[in-house]
Structure 1
Amino acid sequence: MNFWKFMISFFIVSTIADFTYLKLDFFQYSLFKADVFQWVTLIKFLVEIIIFAVLLYGLYNLLEFLEKWRMERKYIKTQKELANEAK
């Protein structure tokens, strides 16, 4: 896992989350209300973490795919140029 790709993915997903789904009323909660733990808020917290993890994993894999695709395109282009020079 490349650290910088992960950090870029984390910051992008964090920004997306802050401006979209975390503004919904469903995600406005406190784990402890009146010093009492509530299971409903734990479920909301787990839903929030799962959504964040799925977005993070997807964006990280997208960045990985783009890098591999770019390198593959460069390789194919170089192979075509070498084949044309050999003619």
Structure 2
Amino acid sequence: MPGTGYGAPPPPNYLVWAILSAVLCCTPLGIVSIVFAAQVNGKWMAGDAQGAFTASRRARTWAIAAAVVGLIFVPIAFLSGIFDASSGSM
């Protein structure tokens, strides 16, 4: 694993991406990403480098999945009329 020696920086936690994917794309998948992102720094500080890298990778994966689902579902929802802007209700 790169950067696991003394004084090495922790792996990226992707917390910003997780929050954005939860708010803007797909909330359930984004929440899973937030949970993994929140684990990264704690595992790193506890000396669990492998766990920190695993949580980082999972946070990134779930954030990407949330973004992809959001980018696929939202246009389909608008095109199919789930969100009817003319009636003023969703």
TM-score range, shorter chain: 0.3 to 0.5
Q: As a proportion of its length, which structure holds more helix?
A: 1
- TM-score normalised to the size of structure 1? 0.44
Q: As a proportion of its length, which structure holds more strand?
A: 1
Question: Taking CA–CA contacts closer than 8 Å with sequence separation of 6 or more, which of the two structures ends up with the larger relative contact order?
Answer: 1
